[in-house]
Amino acid sequence: MKRKTTFQKVLIYLAAIFVFVVSMFPFWWMVISSLKPTSEIFSSVPTFWPHDITFQHYYNIFVRANFWVYFTNSLMVAGTVTVLGTGIAALAGYAIGRFNIKGKNAILLMILSVQMFPLVVMIIPLFIVMSRLGLVNSLVGLVIVYLTFALPFCIWMMRSYFASIPVEIEEAAMIDGCTRMQAFRKVIFPLAWPGVSATSIFAFITAWNEFVFAVTFIQDDSLRTLPLALQQFFSRFTADFGGLMAASTIATIPVLLFFIFFQRKMTKGLVQGSVNT
């Protein structure tokens, strides 16, 4: 490789700093705004570093605005979707990746096209079906819907992980006396663990961040998930920006933590799932 000139290096670093600031700024602005006292939030010259840090806004939203309820709802919904979605996708991904099934290509194509389909188009019939089943205004209904629309991508990711594991490994396990399911559970599943964790992060983030179905399906205040509670909090208390920033931070931190711990696996899984098709 040719060495870069100083001018090129300066240019690269300037661009890098610009991209860094643009990516980070809204997140950082949200967090510091949530820690500023109200008087500082509404000062005519914004402060880029809070002068007096306060946790008053966090205290307010948890005590006054029931945020624990919404937080727990989101956690339950996203947690269930993660566990069930990853499990179901692992089984399906294994079946597609390992067996010669009739109509395999048709199934793959169907899964892919569902993944590519704009889901807003089917929210109306889904709402009608769910209301007939009594699952509108229930967290179970949300879990079922989120599960379905996280699944296509999860299956796709799991399939590519299983496909990257040599068949000889399970053949060896089966020669050693394992049944097919035992080989899957004891040998293949542990080997596919990076793929499993990538898939589970994807499922978690999808369910945690989802809004359209929540706003359509949920009516009771006690059943709201965080994004929904956030939006309704926002349209009612537009003056309380400190509280809003605290609430937004609460909704963002769990996905961000999840993401920071597993980001390498997730990006790898995403790229494998989306590009190497």
Partner 1 sequence: MNNRWLPWILLAPALILILALTIYPLFNTVYLSFRQYDMYSLMTGVSTWVGLSNYTETLTDPFFWTVTRNTVVFGMACVFGTMIAGLLVALLLNTKFKGSKILGIVILIPWVFPAVAGGIVWRWMFNDQYGVANYLLTQIGLTRFDGFAWFNSPWTAFTVIFFMIVWQSFPFIAVSLLAGFQTIPDTLYEAAEIDGANAWHKVTKITLPMLKPLLLILFILSTIWDFKIFDQIYVMTEGGPARGTYVLALYSWSEAFNSLNFGMASAIAMLMFVLLMFFIVIYIYFLREEKGGKRA
**Span 40-99, contacts to partner 1 by CB under 8 A:** 41-46, 88-89, 91-92, 94-96, 98-99
Among the listed residues 55, 59, 35, 57, the one whose alpha carbon sits nearest the alpha carbon of residue 47: 35
To partner 1, the closest distance from the beta carbon of 56 in angstroms equals 17
- Binding window for partner 1 (CB under 8 A); candidates: 56-64, 111-119, 162-170, 192-200: 111-119
**Contact between 241 and partner 1 (CB under 8 A)?**
yes
**Contact between 109 and partner 1 (CB under 8 A)?**
no
- Please identify, using beta-carbon distances, which residue of 77 and 205 lies nearer to partner 1: 205
- Of 69, 75, 144, 165, which lies in the binding site for partner 1, with binding defined by CB under 8 A? 144
- Binding window for partner 1 (CB under 8 A); candidates: 60-68, 124-132, 166-174, 190-198: 124-132
- Please identify, using beta-carbon distances, which residue of 12 and 172 lies nearer to partner 1: 12
**Contact between 134 and partner 1 (CB under 8 A)?**
no
CA pair distance 86, 261, nearest whole angstrom: 18
CA pair distance 159, 132, nearest whole angstrom: 34
- Please identify, using beta-carbon distances, which residue of 16 and 172 lies nearer to partner 1: 16
Neighbours of 214 (CB within 10 A): 23
- Please identify, using beta-carbon distances, which residue of 55 and 274 lies nearer to partner 1: 274
CA pair distance 17, 23, nearest whole angstrom: 10
Nearby residues of 165 by Cβ (< 8 Å), 6 or more positions away: 188, 191, 192
**Contact between 38 and partner 1 (CB under 8 A)?**
no
Among the listed residues 82, 47, 70, 126, the one whose alpha carbon sits nearest the alpha carbon of residue 266: 82
**Contact between 3 and partner 1 (CB under 8 A)?**
no
- Binding window for partner 1 (CB under 8 A); candidates: 18-26, 57-65, 164-172, 191-199: 18-26
Token duo for residue 62? 């948890």
- Please identify, using beta-carbon distances, which residue of 8 and 193 lies nearer to partner 1: 8
To partner 1, the closest distance from the beta carbon of 88 in angstroms equals 5
Name residues contacting partner 1, limited to 158-197 (CB under 8 A): 180-181
- Of 61, 142, 157, 205, which lies in the binding site for partner 1, with binding defined by CB under 8 A? 205
- Of 147, 188, 203, 246, which lies in the binding site for partner 1, with binding defined by CB under 8 A? 147
To partner 1, the closest distance from the beta carbon of 166 in angstroms equals 19
To partner 1, the closest distance from the beta carbon of 160 in angstroms equals 13
Q: Give me the sign of the Cα torsion angle 126, 131, 133, 138.
A: positive
